Structure 1
Amino acid sequence: MNGNYVGSFGIGYGLAVLGIALGLGLIGYSALQGMARQPEAIGKLQTVMLIALAFVELTFFLTLFLAPGSINIVPK
């Protein structure tokens, strides 16, 4: 495999992880803001936040495990 392809996959992984980290941070920030404004809704907000975090983490694991399989698609 050519080194250029390996480098581009590394850049792709880096961008994917950066986007996922940004998403996790925004979810946590928004949930904490909502909890500070509406203390009586903490239970519902935590549930929704955890579900959203699970979906974002799912995209990370899909990127981590499915993207290496696409190396075979790259023309040699």
Structure 2
Amino acid sequence: MWEYAKTSRSAIVTFDEDFEILSQMRGWPPKVVLLRPGNLTVDQTVELLELNFDAIASFLDESNPDERGMLKLIRIGI
């Protein structure tokens, strides 16, 4: 999945903390959006993504290799 996302210029959105380790070891691309909200329903997860839309879009638009390759979203205000 890592190599496919890298070659297709895709981002990975995941709950799996292993991708945080991969991002630290391999760098980016691909960029990783790590969801760490705890136990949420699907609707609450969608709300988390919607509430953070601007931050996610900004993160994905960063193209400087010195910029971060991971965005971590946590449960705030849901």
Q: TM-score by structure 1 length?
A: 0.29
Look at both structures and tell me which one has the larger radius of gyration over its CA atoms: 1
Higher relative contact order (Cα pairs below 8 Å, separated by 6+ residues): 1
Q: Which has the higher strand share?
A: 2
